[in-house]
Amino acid sequence: MSDKELLNEVVARAEQWLEGNYDAETKAEVKALLEAEDKAPLIDAFYRDLEFGTGGLRGIMGAGTNRMNIYTVGAATQGLSNYLLKSFPDKEQISVCIGYDCRNNSEKFSKISADIFSANGIKVYLFESLRPTPEMSFAIRELGCQSGIILTASHNPKEYNGYKAYWEDGAQVLMPHDKNIIAEVEAIASIDDIKFQGNNDLIEILGEEMDKTYIDRVAGLSLSPEAVVNNKDLKIVYTPIHGTGVKLVPMALKAFGFENVIHVEEQDVVSGNFPTVVSPNPEEPAALELAIAKAKETDADIVMATDPDSDRIGVAMKDDKGEWILVNGNQTALLLTYYMITKWKENGLITGNEFFVKTIVSTELLKEVAEANGVESHDCYTGFKWIASVIKGFEGKKKYICGGEESFGFLCQDFVRDKDAVSACAMFAEMTAWAKDKGFSLYELLQNIYLEYGYSKEKMIYIVRKGKEGADEIRQMMVDMRNEAPKTLAGSKVTLIKDYLALTTKNTETGDVEKLDFPATSDVLQFFTEDGSKVSVRPSGTEPKIKFYMEVKGELASNEAYRDAEAKADAKVEAIAKDLKLV
């Protein structure tokens, strides 16, 4: 399609919004886009419909088919309603659960969604105020709902919002449900097909009773209650970064037995504008600056943060010189996995029928820890819906211990089917107390794991390309890499290439190609080198980015050699980044 054809199509779509039964504010915004000299914002707002990706609907708020607004949310909810009615024709009363976070318009979108579901004869359990994503996932299962949604854009910047759809198992929708829901949305001819007039008799408000039920289940996860008793005054600095963790994370820590949670008052303020940070992302060092300042002021033992919907955990700890350093997502998962499997083993809970799950882009050390302790390790695609799918596949057959991913997501149990920073914070605090009981810090615990299982260093670099042109450029980058894969990385020969779009594994030395056993295709490439390095490349499903995940192996002979091992690994990561022309 030529640029002129694209613009004509976009203008036609926008003009339909001027003629349709849209509200005056929306029409004024569309009119301004049409009249503006720069047509790029108009094109970006209308060149496509928002689609379900790895995190459901997610986009910038505003008018347009490619924007988050009451009409795109309304169409998604009507489509989901239609699909639920078709999927459960014999169900006397279909029910859904709705949650929302602190973002601008999240409450508004949630109430509009509640009206639409109820207008379609579907019972709605709507949280009275903002709640963590994992609690909504828990409530679906607890209440026996057939579906659920949460209005959140997770850790994205403030101009974004999102809409995650869940199925009756409490997990985000997978195929065929995601594609079928989209088909139902696309079948809606106009906004007049959306039933906006709600039925209050079918809307029930959820409050503190569900909070208590959820927290009681989280408290039951404790593996070292004696360590908590011994360290109940552990100084824990916690920040919700203006989001939903503000209430439930301190509740969970208290339920475990911790009595000294130190708040970052400025970030306890619930706000979709995230006034103290550029981005409410616990991956970003800047998001934890205030918490680390509070930790220095109070001589704290640990710093923990959660993103706006409290499904991702960020952690900072002291190094051997007493300086505060950030723990990356792989290290967070590694520490928690090591701790939980170690304690399960100590507590006599390992029987040979347990399993652990990680994503393909996460560190391979997780697999080493699990399998060395008699626990099966399973790989899946990026996104916790895939971890939930593995859990569901083994339900009633094997026992899930935990699962994690490099992007700061972890799940300590299976009564939630999405990443859960509420339980992860409680478990991380308990692990800190357990390590302290044994006479070592978290920093030393991490070194001990490396000494036992081998050292690795991970880094993720991403390239941002916004709008339609950016999306086209990212697609071309993946095509180019498939057509001309790197032969060496940091001087080491690439010996294996995995292409999850073709579902093939190619041995570059023999030319042999084998099929990958995965439930669906995904636009991911992986390169494995002779010296044990791994590079994964994938476009983000929720952001205008292409991501490069690098993991290199190193040697660590002693705790004293840790910094030297880090420096050598950093140099290798830098060399790989140069080979890929990322720096």
Tens-digit pLDDT profile for residues 446-456: 999 999 999 99
With both helix axes pointing from N to C terminus, report the angle between 442-453 and 365-372 in degrees, rounded to the nearest 10.
80
Boundary (domain end) residue, out of 453, 474, 499: 453
Closest CA to 434 of 336, 368, 333, 356: 336
Tell me: do 558 and 429 sit in the same domain.
no
Percent of the chain with pLDDT over 70: 99
Tell me: do 202 and 218 sit in the same domain.
no
Tell me: do 422 and 356 sit in the same domain.
yes
Which bin fits 31, alpha (ψ -120 to 50), beta or left (φ > 0)? alpha
273 φ, ψ to 5°? Answer: -90, -10
DSSP 403: E
Query: Per-residue pLDDT averaged across 196-204, rounded?
Result: 97
Tell me: do 275 and 379 sit in the same domain.
yes
Burial of 94 (0-12, 13-18, 19+ CB in 10 A): buried
Place of tokens 């996860």: 221
Cα–Cα dist 495/531, whole Å: 10
Average pLDDT, the chain: 95
pLDDT given for residue 52 in this prediction: 64
**Within a domain: 25:** no
Neighbours of 371 (CB within 10 A): 12
**Within a domain: 13:** no
Tell me: do 406 and 523 sit in the same domain.
no
Tell me: do 388 and 472 sit in the same domain.
no
How open is the CA angle 126-131-133, to the nearest 5 degrees?
A: 95
Write down the catalytic residue from 147, 154, 310, 389. 154
Enter the tokens of residue 311: 């499904």
SS3 142: helix
Checking if the pLDDT of 539 tops 60, the result is yes
Enter the tokens of residue 348: 């006599």
DSSP 35: H
Boundary (domain end) residue, out of 412, 432, 453: 453
Checking if the pLDDT of 55 tops 70, the result is no
Parallel, antiparallel, or unpaired for β 534-539 and 545-554?
antiparallel
SS3 95: strand
pLDDT given for residue 50 in this prediction: 79
53 φ, ψ to 5°? Answer: -110, -150
The tens digit of pLDDT for each residue in 352-374 reads 999 999 999 999 999 999 999 99
pLDDT given for residue 576 in this prediction: 97
pLDDT given for residue 181 in this prediction: 87
With both helix axes pointing from N to C terminus, report the angle between 442-453 and 562-579 in degrees, rounded to the nearest 10.
70
Q: Verify whether residue 154 is a known catalytic residue.
A: yes
Cα–Cα dist 40/33, whole Å: 9
The tens digit of pLDDT for each residue in 425-451 reads 999 999 999 999 999 999 999 999 999
**Within a domain: 322:** yes
Tell me: do 412 and 555 sit in the same domain.
no
Checking if the pLDDT of 554 tops 70, the result is yes
The tens digit of pLDDT for each residue in 373-387 reads 999 999 999 989 999
pLDDT given for residue 189 in this prediction: 84
Cα–Cα dist 545/477, whole Å: 11
Cα–Cα dist 326/332, whole Å: 10
Q: Do 83 and 96 contact (CB within 8 A), yes or no?
A: no
Q: Do 390 and 378 contact (CB within 8 A), yes or no?
A: yes
Strand partners, 317: 325
pLDDT given for residue 41 in this prediction: 92
Checking if the pLDDT of 1 tops 70, the result is no
Place of tokens 């009206």: 115
Boundary (domain end) residue, out of 404, 425, 453: 453
Q: What is the pTM of this model?
A: 0.94
Cis peptide before 225 (omega within 30 of 0): no
The tens digit of pLDDT for each residue in 216-236 reads 999 999 999 999 999 999 999
Task: For residue 65, give Cα distances in angstroms to 35, 414, 524.
Answer: 18, 36, 27
Checking if the pLDDT of 53 tops 60, the result is no
**Domain span including residue 124:** 48-206
How would DSSP label each residue in 223-258? S-HHHHHHTTT--EEEE-TTSTHHHHHHHHHHHHT-
Query: Per-residue pLDDT averaged across 507-531, rounded?
Result: 95
**Within a domain: 30:** no
Checking if the pLDDT of 265 tops 70, the result is yes
Enter the tokens of residue 254: 């208290």
pLDDT given for residue 466 in this prediction: 84
Checking if the pLDDT of 409 tops 70, the result is yes
Tell me: do 192 and 291 sit in the same domain.
no
In this prediction, residue 510 has a pLDDT band, given cuts at 50, 70 and 90, of very high
Cα–Cα dist 303/314, whole Å: 8
The tens digit of pLDDT for each residue in 126-166 reads 999 999 999 999 999 999 999 999 999 988 889 999 999 99
Tell me: do 294 and 428 sit in the same domain.
yes
Parallel, antiparallel, or unpaired for β 147-151 and 376-380?
unpaired
Please count the structural domains in the chain.
Answer: 3
Interacting residues of 81 by C-beta distance below 8 A, sequence separation 6+: 116, 117, 120, 122, 195
Closest CA to 291 of 345, 330, 364, 240: 240
Cα–Cα dist 434/437, whole Å: 5
Strand partners, 534: 528, 551
**Within a domain: 14:** no
How open is the CA angle 474-404-437, to the nearest 5 degrees?
A: 140
pLDDT given for residue 368 in this prediction: 96
With both helix axes pointing from N to C terminus, report the angle between 421-437 and 208-219 in degrees, rounded to the nearest 10.
40
Tell me: do 440 and 319 sit in the same domain.
yes
Beta strands in 264-351 (DSSP E): 302-306, 313-318, 324-327
Burial of 157 (0-12, 13-18, 19+ CB in 10 A): middle
Domain at 523, CATH number: 3.30.310
Q: Do 354 and 401 contact (CB within 8 A), yes or no?
A: yes
**Within a domain: 23:** no
Instruction: Decide which of 509 and 54 is more confident.
Output: 509
pLDDT given for residue 348 in this prediction: 96
Tell me: do 416 and 462 sit in the same domain.
no
Whether the CA torsion 321, 322, 323, 328 is positive or negative: it is positive
**Within a domain: 568:** yes
Domain at 421, CATH number: 3.40.120.10
110 φ, ψ to 5°? Answer: -65, -40
**Within a domain: 558:** yes
| Chain mean position to CA 410 | 9
Tell me: do 443 and 501 sit in the same domain.
no
